[in-house]
A and B are shown apart, each in its own frame.
Chain A
Amino acid sequence: MVHQGDQTLDKQSVSIELRLNSQQRELLQRAAVTEALPTIEALVRLAISETAAAAEKSNV
């Protein structure tokens, strides 16, 4: 286990806190609904995958 600030690293996964106030949470929950995703965590994963795809596309 590696502790680095608020994150905890191991070989399998990394945990990071996403700190949101009620307004920020509302915005992301709306986006999650639009994307037909059940949680904000799932939305974060989508953001990461789409960012990766965009980066890959721009490198082509």
Chain B
Amino acid sequence: MSDRKAVFEWIMQPGTGKALELRKGQILRVEQIEGAQCVDFNCFNLHDYKEFMHCGRTRTVHGFNPSKGTFLWSAPPREQAMMYILEDTYGRNDVLFPRCSAYLYESAYGFHQHTNCHDIQTEAQREYGLTPDDVHDSFNMFMCTEVTLDGRASITRQVSKKGDYIELLALMDVLAVPNVCGADVMRTSNFGLKPIKLEIFEASEKELASVPKLPVLKSQRTPADFRNAQIKSTRALVADRSYSASFQNTPLVEEAITIELSPEEYAVFERSARADIYGDDMPSALRDFVFTWWENKYLRAASGAPRIETVGVDQK
């Protein structure tokens, strides 16, 4: 780390954000100058802005609080790991909450104008020709959240300190857009806004080698695979008169296989059959039984998350 040399430095002041080009293999460090400041973040494929960091996908793979040793993913049908969290000295981040917005501050606080992450992101991204509709839900660095027993998400205060930092390694060329969260009237940044230091470094061979290996799947599609790869340039939606539906693997028709079970086999099945769900619908109960067995034995990717080889990764 000590032989690193920053190729870019920037102090991001409260109320602002910064769009930064990162080439594959470069590291963005986001550092607390005073401490206790949330930073909203998103990134785009630098060569195709339609691919961006997707909180839902990231949440599915890594949970609500991605930290060191996890990835930031793009949305289906791309589903690529865009960035890797190489370091995270604080260890609390959030992908539950969307970026805060002007609507929030007007509806909850009565502000007609107030700093908010959506508008800050919009202004930062405008440098690259993006519109307010091109802001997406954010990876919220240093933000402490929790899920309550009644299923609601809530924000708590944070205790990040001066010098705490997160490092994101670009796994593709990206436009990275961090912003100082505009929430000065809530707990997100302990009721205050502070500047944030941004630095870009070239990753060392050792750092690049530390990234866990991910499978490359055919289902990770690019525009070359799209039936319609054209980016729509008009706002109104008008039906294509020549459209003919073509859904894959359809029609999906069930066919029955008769399974002969011995009384002993049937007894085992019956003990496990979910009568609470299926009642006397034994075919549905048997199908559930078989696929549950399959899940337990063969499922490689819970919730669609790829199996990530974490050898050598210091997971928090």
Contacts and interface: CB of A to CB of B under 8 A. Distances in A.
Interface stretch (B49-57, B114-122, B226-234, B276-284): B276-284
Q: Which bracket fits the contact residues of B? A: 20 to 34
Contact of B254 (A11, A16, A21): A21
B201 to A, nearest CB: 45
B252 A16 contact: no
Contacts of B271: 55
A14 B268 contact: no
A18 B283 contact: yes
Given A18-B256, A20-B254, A51-B272, A28 B281 contact: no
Contacts of B246: none
B257 interface: yes
Given A5-B282, A48-B269, A18 B287 contact: yes
B290 A47 contact: yes
A45 B265 contact: yes
Given A45-B265, A52-B268, A14 B260 contact: yes
B289 A41 contact: no
A12 B263 CA distance: 7
A19 B258 CA distance: 9
A23 interface: yes
A13 B290 contact: no
A58 interface: no
Interface in A18-40: 18-25, 27-28, 31, 34, 40
A41 B259 contact: yes
Interface centre among A22, A23, A51 (most CB of B within 10 A): A51
A24 to B, nearest CB: 8
B262 A47 contact: no
B253 interface: yes
Interface string B159-194: 000000000000000000000000000000000000
Nearest to A6: B283
Interface centre among A13, A16, A22 (most CB of B within 10 A): A16
Contacts of A52: 268
Contact of B289 (A17, A27, A47): A47
A14 B135 CA distance: 58
Contacts of B268: 48-49, 51-52, 55
13 contacts: A14-B266, A15-B258, A16-B266, A19-B287, A20-B257, A21-B254, A22-B252, A22-B253, A24-B287, A28-B290, A45-B265, A51-B289, A51-B293
Interface of B: 249, 252-263, 265-266, 268-269, 271-272, 280-284, 286-287, 289-291, 293-294, 297-298
